[in-house]
Amino acid sequence: MPARKFSEIVTRLAPSVPGAPNVVVEQYVRDAAIQACERTLAWRHEQPPIRLTQGIHDYPYDPPNFAEVHAIITATVNGNKMKPVSLDQLHDIYPKWPFTSTDEEAEPRYVTTIDVDNFAVAPIPDGDTNYDVRMIIACKPLRDATEMEQSVLDDLENVIMHGALQHLLVLPERTWSDRELASYHAKQFAFQIAERRARANLGTGRGSMRVQYPRFA
């Protein structure tokens, strides 16, 4: 997928924070992008099919460049739905997992995130069938990312700008400091995040609700 650099957002924000170093502005742009992706689950990525191995419960994610996994949206194994659960929930269902005997191996029905790099399945797969897991994952930028998927950044651009400005404008003793304006951007950030969360809950895609937001100059 084509990528777009955060520096383009920095350029757009420059008139709102005159004199602010680009490296500082980009830091807050990246932080706002991470928050926006975490709260809206807007950056969705379909992983290539992953072939499971008998007796192995954990597998690596395959996120886009400059991204890490935030959540599992959907998962299937050989076309059958898997239920995403937390590690605690998984241990409630299978108290001995992953230290189970071979006679407890079966077609996996649950999937969980171990960390940002790895996921796990339960029950642990048996050797009777070739199991292929397909997942749609929600991603967010890495802490040192300089870019992200263009279509997602385009969609979240206004949200990210509001998110960055709500923090930049409250930095103390700066020539661009403006707490009243920061409050406005904080409210806009929260409102637009909530709207996108509602849109996601309704199952609508990006751009399917024609909501008009105030545009930055």
The residue extents of the domains of the chain are 3-42+145-201, 44-140
94-117 pLDDT tens trace: 999 999 888 889 999 999 999 999
Distance CA 202, CA 25 (A): 34
What is the pLDDT confidence band of residue 208, given thresholds at 50, 70 and 90?
very low
Decide if 156 contacts 139 (C-beta within 8 A). Answer: no
pLDDT at 199: 81
CB count, 10 Å around CB of 164? 28
| Cα dihedral 202→206→208→209 (10° resolution) | 70
Q: Considering the entire predicted model, what is its pTM? A: 0.89
